[in-house]
Amino acid sequence: MRTSSLRLQLLAWVVLPLAGLATINLWTSHRSALATADLVTDRMLLGSARAIAERVAMSDGVLDATIPPAAIEMFDTGDHDSVYYRVETANGRLLTGYPDLPAIQGGPGIAPVYRDNRLRMLAFSHPVVGAGDDSPISVTVGVTLAGHDAMVRRLWFGAFTQQLALVAIAGLFVLLGLHRGLVPLIRLRDAVRSPNRNDLDPVEVRGAQNEIRPLIDALNAYMERVRAQMASQRRFIANAAHQLRTPLALLSTQASYALRETGPEARHEALVALQASSGRLARLAEQLLTLSRAEPGSRRPRADHIDLTEAARQVLETHTPVAIGRNIDLGLEEVGPVPVVGDGTMLREMIVNLVDNALRHTPSGGSVTVTLASGGDEAVLTVADNGPGIPEEERDHVFERFYSIAGSTEDGSGLGLAIVREVVESARGRVTLADSAAGGLLVEVRLPLARS
C-alpha cells in the first residue's frame, strides 16, 4: 500500500520494523522466562527432595521416613500447586508417598500426566547410614505447574509491557519530530499563500533545514524567472501598443484629409496614401501575431518534415512581383531538397522576413540571392543582398524586438529579425549576420538536418 502522508510513511518505517524486532524480542524473552521458571522450580524440587531424604534414618532397626512439613510448604506460593512425593529403598520398597507416582530417570523434567495434571519432577538418591541393602534410598518429588506457569507469565508480561511501551514511545517521538521537522514546510506554504505578499516576491523561511532549503531556492529562482518573463511581456505589449498608435493616428489624419479634398485627383492621392498606411498597419499586426506564435511555449511545438528548398521557392515566387517592380534580380541557388524538422508555417515566415528585408534594403538594379545547401548534419540557408549591410556594432541589436537602426529610411516595425531568431532557435538552429560578397548583408541560418 502506498500512502501519500509523510507522517504515516515515516511512522510505518519506524514503528513496523520496531514492532517486528519487539516480536522477536518477545519470543526470546518468553524462552528465557521459561528457562528461569524451570531453574527455580528445579531448585525447589531439589531442596524439597533433599529435605525429605535427610530425614530418613534408622530408628529401632527400621527405616523411618517422616516428611518434614517445610519440604511441602516451600511450594505454597499461592498458586494452589499440588506436591507429590515417594520415598523408596534401593531395591524399590515403598517407604512413604504415592505408589503410582510415575518414575523419572535422572535429572529434572516433565512427567506424563498424573492425576489430570502435568508435573515437573525430580529424583534424588541419598545414602542412609546403617540401612544396609536399602541404602541409598530414592526420593522422587513432583509438583504441578501452576506456580511455574504463573512465574513465566509474570516474567514475560514485564518484558511484554516494556516492549509495547518502547514501540509506542518511539512512534510518539517520530510524530513529534516530524511535526517539528515539518514546521518550515508549513511556513513555506503559508508564505506562498499569504495574501499580503506581493506576487512572485522571493519567500524567506526561517529555520528551514538543509533538505528543504534547495526547494525554497528553486521556488525563488522559478518565481524570479516568471517575473522576468512577465516584465518582458509587459514591455512587449507596451511597445506593441505604442507601435500601433502611430500608424493609426496617421490613418485617421489621412482619412480626414481625403474627406476634406474636393478635387477627384487630390482625393484619389489621399486615398492611395491611406491604403498604403493601412497596408503597413496590417503588416505590423501580422508581424505581432507571428511573433507571439513563434514565442516558446505559445503553442505546441510542431515537428513537420519540410523541405527548406521548396519553402524558399514558394516564398521567392510570391516576392517576384515586388522584385520585378524594383528591378532587383531575385535568385535561388539550390542543389536539391534540404529536409528539416520544425513548424512549417514558422519556417516559411522566417524566410519571408529575410527576403523582405533584403528586397527593401537593396537599391534598384541590385540583386538578392537565396542559397540552400546541406553541410554535414546541418541545413544552411543564406540570403545575400547588395544593399548597405548592417554595421558590426548594430548586429547584436537588430535581433531585438522593435529595434530599427537609427536613420533607417525603411518604415518597418523592427520585428522581422526578432521573428527570425525566435523561429530559428525554436528549431534548435542559429542565425548569424555577415558581409556578403557583393558588399551587402549576408544572413546565414543553420538548422539541424532531418534524418530520414
Ligand X SMILES: Nc1ncnc2c1ncn2[C@@H]1O[C@H](COP(=O)(O)OP(=O)(O)OP(=O)(O)O)[C@@H](O)[C@H]1O
What are the backbone dihedrals phi and psi of residue 3, each rounded to the nearest 5 degrees, phi first?
-115, 145
Q: Which does residue 184 touch among Mg ion, ligand X, none (CB within 5 to 8 A, set by kind)?
A: none
Question: Considering CB distances under 5 to 8 angstroms, the limit depending on partner class, which of ligand X, Mg ion, none binds residue 441?
Answer: ligand X
Per-residue three-class SS string for 268-283: HHHHHHHHHHHHHHHH
User: How far apart are alpha carbons 121 and 106 in whole angstroms?
Assistant: 10
In the list 385, 424, 426, 427, the residue contacting ligand X (rule: CB under 6 A) is 385
414 binds, among ligand X, Mg ion, none (CB under 5 to 8 A by kind): ligand X
Shortest reach from residue 403's CB to Mg ion, in Å: 11
Decide: is 309 part of the binding site for ligand X (CB under 6 A): no
Among the listed residues 86, 70, 68, 96, the one whose alpha carbon sits nearest the alpha carbon of residue 125: 86
Nearest approach in angstroms of CB 289 to ligand X is 12
Strands 304-307 vs 94-97: parallel, antiparallel or unpaired: unpaired
Among 366, 416, 429, 440, binds Mg ion (CB under 5 A): 416
Least separation in angstroms between CB 382 and ligand X: 12
- CB 413 → ligand X: shortest distance, Å? 4
Integer CA distances (angstroms), 28 to 20, 159, 162, 169, in order: 13, 10, 14, 22
CB of 359 to ligand X, least distance (A): 8
Distance CA 274, CA 265 (A): 14
Which partner in Mg ion, ligand X, none is near 316 (CB below 5 to 8 A by kind)?
none
Q: Which three cell numbers stand for residue 334?
A: 539550390
Per partner kind, with CB cut-offs from 5 to 8 A, the member of ligand X, Mg ion, none near residue 415 is ligand X
Q: Does 414 bind Mg ion (CB under 5 A)?
A: no
With beta carbons less than 8 A apart as the criterion, state whether 443 and 383 touch: yes
CA dist 206 and 359 (Å) reads: 61
Q: Residue 390's binding partner, choosing from Mg ion, ligand X, none, with beta-carbon cut-off 5 to 8 A by kind?
A: ligand X
Span from 195-203, 313-321, 350-358, 440-448 in contact with Mg ion (CB under 5 A): 350-358
Burial group, residue 130, by CB count within 10 angstroms (0-12, 13-18, 19+)? exposed
Among 404, 444, 446, 448, binds ligand X (CB under 6 A): 404
Helix orientation angle between 416-426 and 344-361, rounded to the nearest 10 degrees: 150
| Shortest Å distance, C-beta 186 to Mg ion | 54
Based on the shown chain and the rule CB under 6 A, indicate whether residue 358 belongs to the binding site for ligand X. yes
Closest CA to 379 of 340, 341, 418, 349: 340
**Residue 357 in the binding site for ligand X (CB under 6 A):** yes
**Which backbone phi and psi does 190 adopt, to 5 degrees?**
-65, -35
Q: Are residues 123 and 46 in contact, defined by beta-carbon separation less than 8 angstroms?
A: no
Contact stretch for Mg ion (CB under 5 A) within 150-158, 174-182, 209-217, 405-413: 405-413
Binding mask 313-352 for ligand X (x = CB under 6 A): ----------------------------------------
By CB under 5 A, the residues from 352 to 391 that bind Mg ion are: 357
Which of helix, strand or coil describes residue 192? helix
- Within 409-448, the residues that bind ligand X by CB under 6 A are 410, 412-418, 441
CB 120 within 8 A of CB 148: yes
Q: Which residues of this chain interact with Mg ion, rule CB under 5 A?
A: 357, 412, 416
